[in-house]
C-alpha cells in the first residue's frame, strides 16, 4: 500500500512538473501566434506587425511561434479541438496561415472563430475574390508572374498570352526555365497554367473534390503534351531547376531570359539587388498564372480570442496592407481601392484582375507524379 502511494505521488509530481512550464505559457494578454510560412513572413511579423500592434494596443503582446509547416499548424489545431472537448486552454490564439477546412471537422467543433460575424471594422475591405470561408481571413496574397531580363527582351515584345509565350520560348531556345512543380510554387503554378490552357482556360473545371482517375488522366494528359512540346526549347534542352530560388538565380546570372516567379519573391529579389531594378514583370492576360492568398484564423476557444480578433482587424488596416506591398512584396488581402493610390500605381503590373487558383487535395499527387513521368524524361538532352 505504501509503495503504491509512493508511485502515485511520484507520478503526480512528474506529470505536474512537466505541465508547469506550459501552464505559465498561455497567459492573458499574450497572443500565442503560429505560422507555417517561410522565414521572410516571420521576419515581417517580428519587425513590422508585432511592434506596430503592440504600440497600438498597450498591455497586449504577441508570442510569435514557427509551427514549421502546414502539418504543424494542423496538429496544433487538433490540440485545440481536444482542449475544447475537455474545456481546457488550447494555448493557441492565432494561426497566421491555415486552411479553415483543416483538420476535418474543426469548424463544426467550433474551434475557429467566425470572422465574418465577428464585427471586424475592416472586414468589408477584404477582396471578395479571395474569401474562401467565413472562418478564415485572407490578408496577403501572391501570384506567379513571368520575370524577364529587360536588356534582352523589351516590354513591348514580352508575351502577353500563352500562345505568344510558347512562340517566344520556341523562337528563343534555352532562354526559359521553370522549376519542378513539386519543388516550388512558381514552376508548380506554371504547370497548372498549362493544365488550364489544355482544358479550355476554365479554372472552375477543377475543384478540390472532382478528381477521378479517368478525368485526371484525360485533363492532365493534354497538359503533358503542351509541356512536352516546349521541353526541347527550355534551358539546357529541357532542364528544370529545383526550386523557386534556383530559377531566380538562373535569371540573375543571365543564363535565361525569362522564368516564372512568385510576385513577393521577385519584388524582394529586386529590392535586395539580386535582380536588377529594370527586371521586367508580366502577367498573361488571357488567363493569369495561378496564385493564392494566405488566410489567417482565430482560435475561438483561445484565452485571447478578443485580442486576436483585434489583431485580425489590425492586419487589414492600411498601414499593414501597404507594408505587405512595400516590405513583403506580397499583394494585399484588401481590395485595391483601399491601398494608397501611389502604391496602386507603382505596383500596377502585378495587380491581379482575376486570381485563378488550382485546388490541392487529390489533384496534387497525380500532377506531381504525372509531370515527372511524362514531361521530365522523354527528352534526349544530348541532341
Partner 1 sequence: MTDAAPAAPRPLIDSNDSRRPTGLLLVAIPVFLVGWLVIWPIINAIVRTLWRPDESGAIGFNLDSYVFFFSDQYSINNLTITLWTTLMCAILLLVICLPISLYLRFSAGRLPAYVQAMAIFPMFVPSIILAYAFIRVLGPNGMVDILLNSVGLPKIRTPYLTPWGPVIGLVWDNIPLTVLILLSGLGNVANQAIEAARDVGANRLQVFWHIILPRISNSVLVAISFAVLGIFSSFTLPYLLGPASPEMMGPFMNRTFREVNDPLNAITQAVITFCFCIAFGLFYVRSVARNQGK
Q: Is position 50 an interface residue for partner 1 (rule: CB under 8 A)? A: no
Q: Which of 142, 246, 263, 283 binds partner 1 (CB under 8 A)?
A: 246
Q: Which of 121, 253, 272, 354 binds partner 1 (CB under 8 A)?
A: 253
Q: Is position 172 an interface residue for partner 1 (rule: CB under 8 A)? A: no
Q: Is position 272 an interface residue for partner 1 (rule: CB under 8 A)? A: no
Q: Is position 38 an interface residue for partner 1 (rule: CB under 8 A)? A: no
Grid cell listed for 106: 474543426
Q: Is position 369 an interface residue for partner 1 (rule: CB under 8 A)? A: yes
Q: Is position 255 an interface residue for partner 1 (rule: CB under 8 A)? A: yes
Q: Which is nearer to partner 1, 164 or 182 (CB)?
A: 182
Query: Which listed range, 118-126, 208-216, 236-244, 298-306, lies at the site for partner 1 (CB under 8 A)?
Result: 236-244
Grid cell listed for 347: 505596383
Site residue total, partner 1 (CB under 8 A)? 23
Query: Which listed range, 14-22, 31-39, 253-261, 267-275, lies at the site for partner 1 (CB under 8 A)?
Result: 253-261
Query: Which listed range, 144-152, 156-164, 232-240, 317-325, lies at the site for partner 1 (CB under 8 A)?
Result: 232-240
Q: Is position 373 an interface residue for partner 1 (rule: CB under 8 A)? A: yes
Question: Under the phi-then-psi rule, with left for phi > 0, alpha for psi from -120 to 50, and beta for the rest, what region is 201?
Answer: left
Q: Which is nearer to partner 1, 255 or 287 (CB)?
A: 255
Q: Is position 229 an interface residue for partner 1 (rule: CB under 8 A)? A: no
Give yes or no for a contact between 342 and 66, defined as CB atoms under 8 angstroms apart.
no
Q: Which is nearer to partner 1, 88 or 242 (CB)?
A: 242
Which residues of this protein are in contact with partner 1, per CB under 8 A? 180, 182, 236, 239-243, 246, 249-250, 253-255, 364-365, 368-369, 372-373, 376-377, 381
Amino acid at each position: 500500500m505504501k509503495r503504491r502511494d509512493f508511485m502515485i505521488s511520484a507520478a503526480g509530481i512528474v506529470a505536474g512538473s512537466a505541465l508547469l512550464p506550459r501552464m505559465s505559457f498561455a497567459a492573458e494578454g499574450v497572443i500565442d501566434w503560429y505560422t507555417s510560412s517561410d522565414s521572410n513572413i516571420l521576419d515581417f511579423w517580428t519587425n513590422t506587425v508585432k511592434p506596430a500592434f503592440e504600440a497600438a494596443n498597450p498591455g497586449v503582446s504577441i508570442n510569435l511561434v514557427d509551427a514549421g509547416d502546414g502539418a504543424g499548424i494542423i496538429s496544433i489545431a487538433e490540440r485545440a479541438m481536444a482542449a475544447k472537448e475537455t474545456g481546457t486552454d488550447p494555448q493557441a490564439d492565432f494561426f497566421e496561415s491555415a486552411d479553415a477546412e483543416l483538420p476535418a471537422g474543426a469548424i463544426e467543433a467550433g474551434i475557429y472563430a467566425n470572422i465574418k460575424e465577428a464585427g471586424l471594422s475592416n472586414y468589408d475591405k477584404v477582396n471578395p475574390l479571395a474569401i474562401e470561408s467565413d472562418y478564415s481571413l485572407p490578408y496577403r496574397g501572391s501570384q506567379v508572374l513571368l520575370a524577364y531580363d529587360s536588356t534582352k527582351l523589351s516590354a513591348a515584345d514580352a508575351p502577353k498570352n500563352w500562345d505568344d509565350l510558347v512562340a517566344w520560348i520556341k523562337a528563343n531556345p534555352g532562354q526559359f526555365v521553370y522549376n519542378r512543380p513539386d519543388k516550388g510554387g512558381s514552376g508548380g503554378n506554371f504547370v497548372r497554367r498549362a493544365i488550364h490552357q489544355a482544358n479550355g482556360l476554365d479554372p472552375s473545371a477543377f475543384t478540390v473534390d472532382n478528381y477521378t482517375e479517368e478525368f485526371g488522366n484525360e485533363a492532365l494528359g493534354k497538359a503533358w503534351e503542351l509541356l512536352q512540346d516546349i521541353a526541347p526549347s527550355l534551358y539546357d534542352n529541357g532542364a528544370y531547376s529545383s526550386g523557386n530560388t534556383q530559377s531566380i538565380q538562373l535569371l540573375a546570372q543571365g543564363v535565361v531570359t525569362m522564368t516564372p516567379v512568385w510576385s513577393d519573391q521577385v519584388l524582394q529579389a529586386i529590392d535586395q539587388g539580386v535582380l536588377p531594378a529594370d527586371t521586367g514583370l508580366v502577367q498573361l492576360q488571357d488567363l493569369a498564372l495561378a496564385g493564392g492568398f494566405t488566410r489567417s484564423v482565430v482560435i475561438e476557444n483561445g484565452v485571447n480570442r478578443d485580442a486576436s480578433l483585434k489583431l485580425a482587424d489590425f492586419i487589414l488596416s492600411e498601414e499593414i496592407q501597404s507594408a505587405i506591398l512595400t516590405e513583403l512584396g506580397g499583394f494585399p488581402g484588401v481590395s485595391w481601392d483601399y491601398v494608397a493610390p501611389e502604391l496602386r500605381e507603382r505596383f500596377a503590373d502585378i495587380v491581379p484582375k482575376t486570381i485563378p487558383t488550382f485546388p490541392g487535395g487529390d489533384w496534387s499527387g497525380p500532377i506531381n507524379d504525372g509531370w515527372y513521368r511524362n514531361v521530365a524524361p522523354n527528352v534526349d538532352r544530348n541532341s
